[in-house]
């Protein structure tokens, strides 16, 4: 793995395609993107992802980047984090965002739902002990509100506490006053989020056409607040606007 070819390599791609479910064209495009991000090297590092300008405005940037380097997301029953990832691992992480096929049975949907929710769970459970503790949850909410300025920290705590209370109430029902709710386990997590239909929401569009040429523009605008950046990107992205709507 790691052949720097511009043409799709049939046997390797076939293997990846079976593993992740992407089509050959999609794998080809993602490979190009991988090479672009990693400056044509075989492996991707955190710094490479840090330089993506779109991510710099994102409040949960660190968690997203961490998720790519989290061994739990590689489907190999590993644990802990790595410093660099190969293309295969990149693809596996990306495959969490693939939409489910049209003709799936209920059990298959359930499996996909669990997989996606597992990804989310791993993002929250940073110390990998199998539960999301109050501290971890507070951290999540704080990061979400981190762009909202001063009142973020206080309210974040309150919101996280209320959310935790809700989970505890739904999952445990009744607890004695001196019992302690350790944290949200994966099963509880599934339970509270079963209504948001994650298998239809946690998807992005993977295109079959080549867009990496357009991404060169990313490099030119390091900051994310200038208006000219909007207009230029608007011009070149008209092509995707229609797709985006549908």
Partner 1 sequence: MSVHALRKSASSSFVFVGIGLPIEASAPAYQSHGTEGSHLTNITNTKKAFPVLAVNYEHVRKPFEIALWILLALLMKLGFHLIPRLSAVVPESCLLIVVGLLVGGLIKVIGEEPPVLDSQLFFLCLLPPIILDAGYFLPIRPFTENVGTILVFAVIGTLWNAFFMGGLLYALCQIESVGLSGVDLLACLLFGSIVSAVDPVAVLAVFEEIHINELVHILVFGESLLNDAVTVVLYNLFEEFSKVGTVTVLDVFLGVVCFFVVSLGGVLVGAIYGFLAAFTSRFTSHTRVIEPLFVFLYSYMAYLSSEMFHLSGIMALIACGVVMRPYVEANISHKSYTTIKYFLKMWSSVSETLIFIFLGVSTVAGPHAWNWTFVITTVILCLVSRVLGVIGLTFIINKFRIVKLTKKDQFIVAYGGLRGAIAFSLGYLLSNSHQMRNLFLTAIITVIFFTVFVQGMTIRPLVELLAVKKKKESKPSINEEIHTEFLDHLLTGVEGVCGHYGHYHWKEKLNRFNKTYVKRWLIAGENFKEPELIAFYRKMELKQAIMMVESGQLPSVLPSTISMQNIQPRAIPRVSKKREEEIRRILRANLQNNKQKMRSRSYSRHTLFDADEEDNVSEVRLRKTKMEMERRMSHYLTVPANRESPRPGVRRVRFESDNQVFSADSFPTVHFEQPSPPSTPDAVSLEEEVPKRPSLRADIEGPRGNASDNHQGELDYQRLARCLSDPGPNKDKEDDDPFMSC
Residues 6+ apart with CB under 8 A from 134: 160, 161, 164, 183
CA 76, distance to chain mean position in Å, is 18
| Residue 86 in the binding site for partner 1 (CB under 8 A) | no
| Residue 112 in the binding site for partner 1 (CB under 8 A) | no
Rg (CA), the chain: 20
| Residue 186 in the binding site for partner 1 (CB under 8 A) | no
Q: Looking at 14-22, 47-55, 70-78, 106-114, which segment touches partner 1 (CB under 8 A)?
A: 47-55
Q: Identify which of residues 11 and 245 has a Cβ nearer to partner 1 in the complex.
A: 245
Helix axes 87-95, 10-20, angle to 10 degrees: 30
| Residue 203 in the binding site for partner 1 (CB under 8 A) | yes
CA distances in angstroms from 38 to 9, 19, 199, listed in the order given: 19, 22, 30
| Residue 176 in the binding site for partner 1 (CB under 8 A) | yes
Which residues within the stretch 128-157 sit at the binding site for partner 1 (CB under 8 A)? 134-135, 140-141, 144-145, 147-151, 154-155, 157
Which residues within the stretch 7-26 sit at the binding site for partner 1 (CB under 8 A)? none
Q: Identify which of residues 111 and 159 has a Cβ nearer to partner 1 in the complex.
A: 159
Question: Would you call 102 exposed, middle or buried from its count of C-beta atoms within 10 A (0-12, 13-18, 19+)?
Answer: exposed
Binding residue for partner 1, selected from 19, 51, 170, 219, defined by CB under 8 A: 170
| Residue 111 in the binding site for partner 1 (CB under 8 A) | no
DSSP 8-state assignment for residue 148: G
| Residue 177 in the binding site for partner 1 (CB under 8 A) | yes
């Amino acid at each position: 793995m790691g052949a720097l070819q511009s043409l799709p390599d049939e046997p390797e791609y076939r293997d990846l395609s079976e593993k992740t479910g992407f089509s050959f064209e999609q794998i080809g495009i993602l490979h190009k993107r991988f090479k672009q991000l990693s400056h044509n090297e075989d492996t991707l590092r955190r710094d490479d992802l840090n330089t993506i300008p779109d991510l710099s405005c994102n409040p949960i940037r660190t968690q997203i980047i961490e998720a790519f380097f989290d061994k739990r997301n590689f489907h190999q029953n590993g644990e802990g984090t790595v410093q660099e990832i190969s293309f295969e691992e990149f693809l596996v992480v990306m495959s969490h965002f693939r939409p489910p096929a049209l003709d799936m049975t209920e059990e298959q949907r359930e499996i996909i739902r669990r997989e996606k929710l597992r990804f989310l769970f791993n993002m929250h459970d940073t110390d990998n002990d199998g539960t999301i503790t109050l501290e971890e949850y507070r951290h999540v909410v704080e990061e979400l509100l981190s762009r909202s300025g001063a009142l973020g920290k206080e309210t974040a705590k309150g919101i996280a506490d209320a959310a935790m209370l809700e989970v505890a109430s739904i999952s445990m029902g009744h607890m004695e006053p001196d019992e302690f709710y350790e944290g949200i386990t994966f099963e509880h997590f599934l339970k509270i989020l079963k209504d948001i239909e994650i298998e239809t929401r946690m998807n992005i569009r993977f295109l079959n056409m080549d867009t990496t040429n357009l991404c060169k523009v990313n490099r030119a605008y390091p900051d994310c607040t200038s208006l000219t950046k909007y207009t230029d990107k608007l011009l070149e992205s008209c092509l995707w606007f229609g797709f985006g709507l549908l």
